[in-house]
Structure 1
Amino acid sequence: MSISATTVQGGLTNLSDEIIDELRGRVSCPVLAPEDAGFGEVREVFNAMHPGDPALVVSCSGTADVLDAVGFAREHGLALSVRGGGHSIAGLSASDSCMLIDLAPMHAVHVDPAAKLARVQGGAVWADVDRETQAFGLAAPGGVVSDTGVAGLTLGGGYGWLRRKYGLSCDHLVAAEVIGADGQVTVASEAENTDLLWALRGGGGNFGVVTWFTFALEEVGPTVAFTGVFYPVEEAAQVLRGWRNYVAVAPDEVTATFLTVTMPPDPTLPPVLHNRACALVGGVYSGDAAAGMDILRPLRELGTPLMDMSAPTPYVEVQSGFDAFFPRNTLQAYWKSRYLSSLSDEAIEFVAARAKSRPSPVTLVNVFSMGGAIAAVPPDATAFAQRSSPFLLSIDGNWTDARDNDANIAWVRETFRESAAYGDDGVYLNFTGRSDEPPSVAVDSAFGANLARLAEIKAKYDPTNMFRSNNNITPAGG
């Protein structure tokens, strides 16, 4: 018996039982073929549109297993995918017929509170990090969904509730252990292989498998000031105008987000929210919680509140507060994002109108406030180039029935296309689904002037483009 697997050239090769047994003899972890027990229990992806159907899964337990798996793939010319958290909107860790390196068992987090550092394995999600770091009143800037993978978020940039005070996840990456295409362990830090560290700070999974991340930590929590207010969607334009005016003068300690969603008929929610389309304003103050509640108060007075959840809140609860909107392997998801250099009244009317026309109750139309610590980093200081725009518009198309794919994707694309009239400062790759245009268009838009240097670093560390199941950067000269 043999398994058919995709090669890096795009063809097919047969892996015999003897070849697979050779791999099993090298590693100390499960190597799973589709007929093996446990194959169906490999960490699920977020986006049910791209579940992936790998030919072979290596469920790695540590760095040595990743080394052997990469070496095996290189020797046999196999196409590789790497799954950390599995939260890629574009399904970049869910390729069909590939050899999948599954990092889910590698989720350890080691905190050094004296040095304010955390070492995090590549299969961890942000809930793993927050649980350990908050034991010491520390945090690294993470995402807004606790189930998000550390690897994908960090390598792609990383926006969360601390972004305006402390910047991006990638800005706090101070070292990484990487298994490269040459099958060697390379340490990238501010003392060695500095070019690789620069590239990992926002350049995606182009340069190898990151088995360990080291993050600098900040003093946060355990309680932070949090605002969460539901307003009627009919007041979306009014609320968004007030939100825009507030964030224009708010201190950097304030990170705020505006989104629209339809709430389910959940018995834990007040009846007024059942099946109700809402404009939700969320905000966090990174500092003294009591003082922060006063500073955040204007966000609670933007319209007619349907429900106000604002209160000093444990940071770990804030980090998981949006989890219910993003259940794993349940939603069909297609997203588009666009940075905006301003948020004009016309743009606000557009966002409010599209919020009311959403084709699915679980589709979100979001506006994120940027600036602060994000903009304080020069655009060429890390691979992550887009730092000047004060706003990010994200159109999160989510729905549950695959039969509705065409209609929902068309709505997201139409909304994205029309939004260009209000500013076009590039895209955020972590919030971008598989595109109907060449992938290089989004990559060019995201990396801008940094792309040439990234291509040179790609040529140095992965000249044959072994790691291509990502927002791919073509090696210079390739």
Structure 2
Amino acid sequence: MRIVRKGAPGYDAAREMNNARFDLKPDAIYYCDNQHDAADVVRRLGMCSRKTGIRVRAGGHQHEGMSSGDGVSVIDISEISRINFERRSGRVWIGAGAELQILYGATDAKRRLFPGGGCDDVHIGGLVLGGGWGFYTRHLGLCCDRLKAVRLVTADGQSIEVSDKIDGDLMWALRGGGGGNFGVVTDFFYELDPWPDGLERPSNFTIQWNRRSLIAEVMAEWATNFPVSADNRLTSLLQITLVEKELDAPEESDDVPLLLEGTYIGTAEQTEAALAELLPTTFDKRYRPKTASGAGSIVHTGFRHSHARRQYGPPRREVVRMAGQLDRNGLAAAPADVQSTCAGNPYPHKVSGFMPKTNIEKSQSGSGQPVHTPDPALIETVHGIFNEPAAPASKVRRYLSLHSLGGEVFTNETYRRRSAFPYRDKPFILQPEAWWADPDDTAATREGLDFIARLRERLAPYSEGGFINFPDRDLTGPDQRDRNALLRPYYGEENLEKLKQIKARMDPNNLFDFPMGIPPTD
């Protein structure tokens, strides 16, 4: 085990997190090599007279910076990253610190489907425990749905294994209850499905529309058809971006108003046929979708080539401007590959996440096929927001991503019963995002935060709930003292009460606490 304390060499690099909007200074970071190390640290800190708070960090991608904090102790499990397959099977133990890029490489080699996310530098610890959306979600369920067991260090430093047979209530909480609440999860156990026989690789795809005037039409067609498609092999994300101007022939570095991307567990030809069926009026065969063979995450399998247009970070010109400069910690502020803003680069940003008020409904026609009727007011509001041109030379990239649900998330009753994720009937997740390059640029920071606040306010009449993987401490307003009110949108009243009871049993002294953490029962 390696310990980096405040003021020691390497401390600034060790405390860095993915969201450079936060400049937090923990007392110490404990890099654990295995579950034994994590248990030793928990016992040591639990007996410490100061009782400093403990934060658990797998990769540092918690959008509100809550895997760290000022004056806290950080248990870093990023080095617990082993991936151990049982011979000739899809049964695998995965370390909580495993990066998706590495994990997808391992599962691809075994021709197995892992229900992970779409950004290859994310480590799976927080992703799985928060529920986890990815490009196989409609076919496999959320990341947490396929989880069979975990290895956990409890608040009193004990190492245990948890499954549905061994403490089913705790296992329920670990599927979607959020990371860092009930102990230190060091390993996850999965049984992974094989790729379909005869399939060389699943196919990734992108389609773009260059006109803002099409936002309402495309969003309506996508929201009506994609979440309830009978073909669960297709999972997609629709990104709507605030652009400075429309371009007839955008360069790869230019944002476009509408971008659809996803994965189809089939051939490129099958992918194109499915898209044409689901987009009967907005799919133009003159502009064929870009498809690329490749399993795993969108970023890992060709994103930087056929999918390079979707960037998660600041506008390209701002990354270029920052290149060569140094940030306040003396670290390089921009990557060599300025397109790869998803790949481990600490840019300041603000995100939120919530659900539309409309639900997927079971068909009343006897066909058995679920249906979804999107709210026209939601669509028109989004259309209006993103038809307002971005300010010239804005330093902030602002967009709204719609993550499709449905499929196994909606239909699988076992998944409903065995997880704390409360929004199984929702057609998609709405995720507003704002990214900028320089954490010291107060004007850009204000512009990004204001965009999220205004969008959240304008969509409030048509949205509800939250998604703990996309945490927003301002979701319920500026007063964050009422922890129950802050967390209720994410879990619902009933689930939150059950989670608090489990928290009281597992961590009665609230050793694992953070501003959006689940408190013990009052």
RMSD of equivalent CA atoms: 2.6
Q: Which residue of 2 aligns with 1:45?
A: 17
Q: Which residue of 2 aligns with 1:383?
A: 420
Structure 1, unaligned stretches of length 5 or more?
1-28, 265-269
Residues 447, 262 of structure 1: alpha-carbon distance in 2 compared, 3 angstrom cutoff: closer
Q: Which residue of 1 aligns with 2:209?
A: 231
Q: Deviations over 1:336-381 (max 9, x none)?
A: 1221125223322222222344665522211122111011244443
Q: Find the aligned partners of 1:245 and 1:193 in 2 and give their Cα distance.
A: 39
Q: Find the aligned partners of 1:367 and 1:271 in 2 and give their Cα distance.
A: 22
1:287 Cα shift?
Answer: 3.9
Whether 2:400 is the aligned partner of 1:365: answer yes
Q: Deviations over 1:229-278 (max 9, x none)?
A: 121141222222232343144522211211023799xxxxx754543433
Structure 1 counterpart of 2:183, from 208, 213, 236: 208
1:219 Cα shift?
Answer: 2.1
Q: Which residue of 2 aligns with 1:12?
A: none
1:84 Cα shift?
Answer: 0.2
| SS of the residue 1:169 aligns to | coil
Q: Which residue of 2 aligns with 1:336?
A: 352
Residues 470, 114 of structure 1: alpha-carbon distance in 2 compared, 3 angstrom cutoff: farther
Q: Find the aligned partners of 1:197 and 1:458 in 2 and give their Cα distance.
A: 12
Moved more, 147-156 or 270-279: 270-279
Residues 274, 303 of structure 1: alpha-carbon distance in 2 compared, 3 angstrom cutoff: farther
Structure 2, unaligned stretches of length 5 or more?
304-309, 313-339, 359-372
| SS of the residue 1:430 aligns to | coil
Q: Which residue of 2 aligns with 1:413?
A: 453
- Contact map agreement 1:89 1:432 (CA 8 A) in 2: yes
Q: Find the aligned partners of 1:414 and 1:459 in 2 and give their Cα distance.
A: 37
Q: Find the aligned partners of 1:319 and 1:217 in 2 and give their Cα distance.
A: 21
Residues 283, 299 of structure 1: alpha-carbon distance in 2 compared, 3 angstrom cutoff: farther
Q: Which residue of 2 aligns with 1:242?
A: 221
Structure 1 counterpart of 2:147, from 173, 198, 201: 173
1:201 Cα shift?
Answer: 0.5
Structure 2 counterpart of 1:460, from 505, 508, 511: 505
1:52 Cα shift?
Answer: 2.5
Q: Deviations over 1:304-363 (max 9, x none)?
A: 799865224211462433663435343221111221125223322222222344665522
Q: Find the aligned partners of 1:400 and 1:308 in 2 and give their Cα distance.
A: 33
Q: TM-score, normalised by structure 2?
A: 0.79
More helix by share: 1
Residues 43, 79 of structure 1: alpha-carbon distance in 2 compared, 3 angstrom cutoff: closer
Q: Find the aligned partners of 1:106 and 1:118 in 2 and give their Cα distance.
A: 14
1:410 Cα shift?
Answer: 1.9
Residues 309, 291 of structure 1: alpha-carbon distance in 2 compared, 3 angstrom cutoff: closer
Residues 101, 423 of structure 1: alpha-carbon distance in 2 compared, 3 angstrom cutoff: closer
Structure 1 counterpart of 2:72, from 87, 95, 98: 98
Q: Deviations over 1:82-103 (max 9, x none)?
A: 1101111111112112111111
- Contact map agreement 2:434 2:448 (CA 8 A) in 1: yes
| SS of the residue 1:223 aligns to | coil
Q: TM-score, normalised by structure 1?
A: 0.85
Q: Which residue of 2 aligns with 1:326?
A: 342
Residues 147, 377 of structure 1: alpha-carbon distance in 2 compared, 3 angstrom cutoff: same
1:142 Cα shift?
Answer: 0.6
1:118 Cα shift?
Answer: 1.8
Work out the percentage of aligned pairs sharing the same amino acid.
Answer: 25
Q: 1:454 is matched by which residue type in structure 2? A: L
Output aligned runs, 1:144-159, within 5 Å: 144-159=118-133
- Contact map agreement 2:229 2:407 (CA 8 A) in 1: no
Q: Deviations over 1:7-33 (max 9, x none)?
A: xxxxxxxxxxxxxxxxxxxxxx21111
Moved more, 445-454 or 376-385: 376-385
- Contact map agreement 1:42 1:102 (CA 8 A) in 2: no
Q: Find the aligned partners of 1:317 and 1:263 in 2 and give their Cα distance.
A: 26
Structure 2 counterpart of 1:297, from 262, 276, 279: 276
Q: Deviations over 1:187-228 (max 9, x none)?
A: 101221222111100111210000111122122376112220
Q: Find the aligned partners of 1:101 and 1:305 in 2 and give their Cα distance.
A: 52
Q: Which residue of 2 aligns with 1:23?
A: none
Structure 2 counterpart of 1:255, from 235, 256, 260: 235
Residues 304, 408 of structure 1: alpha-carbon distance in 2 compared, 3 angstrom cutoff: farther
Q: Find the aligned partners of 2:184 and 2:285 in 1 and give their Cα distance.
A: 46
- Contact map agreement 1:111 1:118 (CA 8 A) in 2: yes
Whether 2:265 is the aligned partner of 1:278: answer no
Q: Which residue of 1 aligns with 2:370?
A: none
Q: Find the aligned partners of 2:395 and 2:404 in 1 and give their Cα distance.
A: 25
Whether 2:450 is the aligned partner of 1:434: answer no
Report how many aligned residue pairs link the two structures.
444
